[in-house]
């Protein structure tokens, strides 16, 4: 496959994947995705030899760079590094002017000013955008109330001016609404809201905002151990002062008022100007007593939140895997493939069939003649740099997921079972079709096996534990498998048999090896109060 054709297929499938996620994306991103597909189509008709480069540059500029940039901005905002987030957003807004992103840098600038103590200037910026008709205007108004920890007025304003439908669409406003309910003592209302947000944000994949509203529910209901788990895992990116504030809130709600006040007072002496009003509010407005306030239905929601967090630790994305052991087996396999590729290059070139044959490429006729070692050797050989890169990227991502779920030994068993099994299937079908001289190399069958193992883990998690996150990610895995199948059909050089058999063998072995509740260990937890004097 030429590099130009590779880029064409990559851009096409990347855009199609984004369109499959249409319900989770703002309209501006969908417009850009369709635009990139249009540019790809036109360039393919007019200049087919350059279509890959043209579409790849367009996709990179309008999709990849903004996606990576705004992911970094969200990362900085979670760390409360508003000044750096503002500078990055100011640059990126010109690549993506839709969906309110032109005004977003000013909102971040106001938060940076408030953090540094210039509250008056921050208020002026928020008031400049204050409105009930636009998402940016509503957020600016809500942040204006939050700046002074004016939770009563914020809750009143949200109730009057923001509809439930708008709340479900705007994760930032939803989080502030949930917090204002907790700050004003309406614990039952808070848990009912979290229950609604679970259904909405769970479907859209906005787990950051979802975990934030879960944090509010757990903290205001005095669930200290679960708050610590959430802060140590999904919300570990938060700065220490924020983690300590919410841990102190949980302690106060649990009835440990003296301890909570001690930590809050110590935190107040070293917090920034933006956090001080929230601490003052907490000290002057003790938390409601959950054991007296909560209804039976609210207690059920609270228990379900705990179960869901545990399920997401087993079936969720990498955000929930930071505390697990390193995937050393995955790293070792990648290193082995790179080493063998270097040997191919030294021996005369990775695309030279003679070199591949000498190093152990799968040739069915030779295998049937007794050279069974080729079945294993072929898993580590790759025909060209593109072949290697594509497989190593897949091995890195799916290897980490599967190894964290099964452990290193079961991961290696599943990997080689899928890879060797797919090579055996290729050999058997070659014998049946009398194609004994065809050459097959690559770790693709084993990597597709990892995809199948992950699919089995997620499906088993859904069937046995009714884990919603497992069902969501299973649908995502199916989308990847379908797109891979289409790509295989379009590329005659790719072994469709090897990929498909690897996927099915991986699913089978994954179903056998995975036991719900095992793997993805919790890791060592450290108290958020550890750095307090």
Q: Where are the domains of the chain?
A: 3-63, 148-315, 328-513
Other CB atoms within 10 A of residue 275 CB:
20
What is the per-residue pLDDT across 231-244, written as a single tens digit (0 to 9) for each? 988 888 999 999 99
- Closest-CA residue to 401 (of 390, 415, 419): 415
The residues near 135 (Cβ < 8 Å, ≥ 6 apart) are 99, 100, 170
What is the per-residue pLDDT across 472-500, written as a single tens digit (0 to 9) for each? 888 888 888 887 888 777 776 778 889 99
Q: So what's the pLDDT on residue 362?
A: 93
- Please state the rounded mean pLDDT for residues 383-400: 91
What is the per-residue DSSP string for 350-370?
Answer: TT-HHHHHHHT-B-HHHHHTT
The residues near 136 (Cβ < 8 Å, ≥ 6 apart) are 100, 103, 104, 107, 129
Q: So what's the pLDDT on residue 528?
A: 44
Q: How many CA atoms lie within 13 A of 63 on its CB side?
A: 24
Average pLDDT of the chain to the nearest whole number: 87
What is the per-residue pLDDT across 3-40, written as a single tens digit (0 to 9) for each? 788 889 889 988 888 887 666 666 777 888 899 999 99
Separation of alpha carbons 144 and 138, rounded Å:
10
What is the per-residue pLDDT across 419-452, written as a single tens digit (0 to 9) for each? 999 999 999 998 888 888 888 999 999 999 999 9
In CATH, what is the architecture of 328-513? Up-down Bundle (1.20)
pTM of this prediction?
Answer: 0.77
The residues near 504 (Cβ < 8 Å, ≥ 6 apart) are 452
- Please state the rounded mean pLDDT for residues 337-366: 93
Q: How far is CA 45 from the centre of its chain?
A: 36
Main-chain phi, psi angles of 150, to 5 degrees:
-90, 70
Q: So what's the pLDDT on residue 100?
A: 56
Q: So what's the pLDDT on residue 323?
A: 39
- 140 within 8 A of 105, measured Cβ to Cβ: no
For 96, the token pair is 């993506």
- 364 within 8 A of 427, measured Cβ to Cβ: yes
Catalytic residue ranges: 444, 499
- Please state the rounded mean pLDDT for residues 321-347: 85
pLDDT band at 518 (very low <50, low <70, confident <90, very high): low
Q: What is the 3-state secondary structure (H, E, C) of 371-412?
A: CCHHHHHHHHCCCCHHHHHHHHHHHHHHHHHHHHHHCHHHHH
Label residue 163 exposed, middle or buried (CB < 10 Å: 0-12, 13-18, 19+): exposed
The dotted CATH code for 148-315 is: 1.25.40
Separation of alpha carbons 39 and 37, rounded Å:
5
Q: So what's the pLDDT on residue 334?
A: 96
């Amino acid at each position: 496959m030429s590099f130009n054709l590779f880029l064409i297929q990559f851009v096409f499938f990347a855009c199609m994947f984004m369109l499959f996620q249409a319900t989770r994306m703002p309209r501006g991103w969908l417009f850009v995705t369709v635009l990139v597909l249009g540019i790809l189509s036109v360039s393919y008709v007019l200049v087919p030899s350059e279509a890959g480069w043209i579409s790849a540059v367009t996709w990179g500029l309008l999709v990849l760079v903004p996606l990576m940039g705004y992911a970094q901005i969200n990362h900085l905002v979670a760390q409360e590094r508003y000044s750096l987030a503002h500078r990055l957003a100011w640059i990126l807004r010109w690549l993506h002017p839709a969906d309110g992103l032109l005004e977003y840098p000013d909102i971040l600038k106001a938060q940076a000013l408030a953090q540094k103590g210039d509250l008056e200037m921050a208020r002026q910026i928020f008031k400049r955008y204050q409105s009930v008709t636009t998402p940016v205007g509503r957020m600016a108004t809500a942040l204006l109330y939050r700046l002074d920890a004016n939770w009563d007025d914020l809750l009143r304003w949200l109730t009057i001016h923001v509809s439930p439908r708008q709340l479900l669409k705007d994760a930032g406003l939803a989080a502030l609404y949930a917090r204002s309910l907790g700050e004003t003592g309406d614990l039952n209302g808070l848990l009912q809201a979290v229950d609604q947000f679970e259904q909405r944000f769970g479907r859209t994949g906005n787990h950051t905002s979802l975990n934030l509203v879960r944090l509010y529910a757990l903290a205001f209901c005095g669930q200290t151990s679960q708050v610590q788990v959430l802060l140590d895992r999904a919300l570990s990116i938060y700065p220490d002062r924020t983690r300590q504030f919410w841990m102190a809130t949980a302690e106060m709600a649990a009835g440990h008022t003296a301890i909570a006040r001690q930590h809050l007072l110590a935190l107040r002496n070293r917090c920034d100007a933006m956090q001080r009003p929230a601490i003052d509010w907490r000290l002057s407005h003790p938390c409601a007593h959950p054991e007296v306030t909560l209804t039976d239905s609210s207690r059920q929601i609270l228990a379900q939140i705990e179960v869901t967090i545990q399920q997401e630790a087993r079936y969720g994305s990498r955000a929930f895997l930071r505390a697990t052991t390193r995937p050393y087996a995955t790293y070792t396999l990648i290193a082995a493939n790179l080493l063998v590729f270097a040997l191919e290059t030294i021996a005369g070139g990775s695309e030279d069939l003679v070199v591949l044959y000498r190093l152990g490429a799968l040739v069915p006729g030779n295998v049937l003649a007794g050279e069974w070692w080729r079945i294993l050797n072929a898993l580590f050989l790759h025909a060209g740099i593109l072949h290697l890169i594509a497989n190593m990227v897949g091995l890195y991502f799916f290897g980490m997921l599967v190894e964290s779920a099964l452990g290193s030994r079961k991961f290696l068993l599943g990997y080689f079972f899928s890879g060797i099994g797919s090579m055996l299937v290729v050999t058997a079908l070659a014998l049946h079709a009398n194609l004994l001289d065809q050459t097959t190399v690559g770790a693709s069958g084993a990597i597709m096996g990892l995809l199948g193992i992950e699919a089995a883990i997620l499906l088993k998690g859904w069937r046995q534990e009714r884990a919603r996150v497992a069902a969501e990610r299973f649908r995502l895995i199916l989308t990847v498998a379908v797109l891979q199948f289409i790509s295989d059909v379009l590329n005659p050089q790719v072994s469709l048999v090897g990929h498909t058999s690897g996927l099915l063998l991986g699913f089978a072995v994954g179903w056998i090896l995975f036991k719900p509740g095992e793997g993805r260990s919790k890791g060592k937890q450290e108290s958020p109060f550890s750095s307090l004097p």
